Amino acid sequence: MINKISETKAFGGRQIRYEHQSSTLNCTMQFSVFLPPQAEQQSVPALYWLSGLTCTDENFSSKAGAQRIAAELGIAMIIPDTSPRGDGVPDDPEQAYDFGLGAGFYVNATQQPWATHYHMYDYIVTELPALVEQHLPVTQKRGISGHSMGGHGALVMALRNQTMYASVSAFAPICHPTQCPWGHKAFSGYLGDDRAAWLDYDATELLLKLRVAPPMLVSQGEADNFLAEQLRPDDLAAAIAETGVEATLERHQGYDHSYYFIASFIEQHLRFHAQYLL
């Protein structure tokens, strides 16, 4: 059961917000959807977009400017929130931006008090697609993309579920979270001290282990203030080179970590996914 919160027409399609009761996250969740005009006549493929730290389902839909190209191509966009929300959902005691609410890191938490609600991996991979495909005119042809923390989530989910996603892309992803401060904080909190469990949520480590990947596009701005300490794209580039998978990692001089960067290259990413979705 999904309840419509709002609807706005855009580029001949519909930008919609829904809410539903999530059995995976044990709370009420909201998500945004763009349905292109083609969805009025037939079911269309879907690109799932995972947002970064502090974001909700509304950041991408209002800032990225993706609807025009999605409408042209006939691709739906499914945009979930970044963490569970609501009364009783725990937050970082220090209210830091990089843990707790708005910072689910797309893992299945095993440590309390997080394990009751913070199962964003299962929510994105299992519950949300089943819900969307039951209630909306979208097919089971799926791509996945994201930014920063969401880029990390997209890469991990695509690598671990290669029959589920036809393609994957990411903007400024956290490429090697077991080796950066954001990842250390999130994984130790959600997953505990067993670092072997962390490897299941690390795109660089997964690629080196699996040695196969869906078609992949990664874009990184060279003026990103998180580049060296948190994002570590060189580690992913080395894994791509070692494994020889079909992947492109592009570097863009002068671009930072903001939605201006995403808006500049979202058309390229949508057309990349269209090769595999349409």
Residue 62 annotated as catalytic: no
Q: Which of 167, 224, 235, 273 is catalytic?
A: 224
Mean of all residue pLDDT scores within the chain: 98
* Res 35: pLDDT: 98
* pLDDT tens over the chain, length 278 residues: 999 999 999 999 999 999 999 999 999 999 999 999 999 999 999 999 999 999 999 999 999 999 999 999 999 999 999 999 999 999 999 989 999 999 999 999 999 999 999 999 999 999 999 999 999 999 999 999 999 999 999 999 999 999 999 999 999 999 999 999 999 999 999 999 999 999 999 999 999 999 999 999 999 999 999 999 999 999 999 999 999 999 999 999 999 999 999 999 999 999 999 999 99
pLDDT score recorded for residue 234: 98
* pLDDT tens profile 20-76: 999 999 999 999 999 999 999 999 999 999 999 999 999 999 999 999 999 999 999
Give the full edge-to-edge strand order of the sheet including 44-50. Answer: 3-10, 13-22, 27-35, 76-80, 44-50, 138-147, 165-171, 216-221, 247-252
The pLDDT score that the predictor gives to residue 193 is 95
Distance in angstroms (rounded) separating the CA atoms of residues 107 and 105: 6
Catalytic site residue from 148, 167, 169, 219 = 148
Catalytic: 193?
A: no
- Residue 180 confidence (pLDDT): 98
Of 117, 257, 269, 273, catalytic = 257
Domains identified in the chain, total number: 1
Task: Output the pLDDT for position 230.
Answer: 98
Confidence at residue 137, expressed as pLDDT on a 0 to 100 scale: 98
Q: Identify the domain containing residue 270 by its residue range.
A: 3-277
The reply to whether 81 belongs to the active site is no
Residue 227: the pLDDT is 97
CATH number, domain with residue 235 = 3.40.50.1820
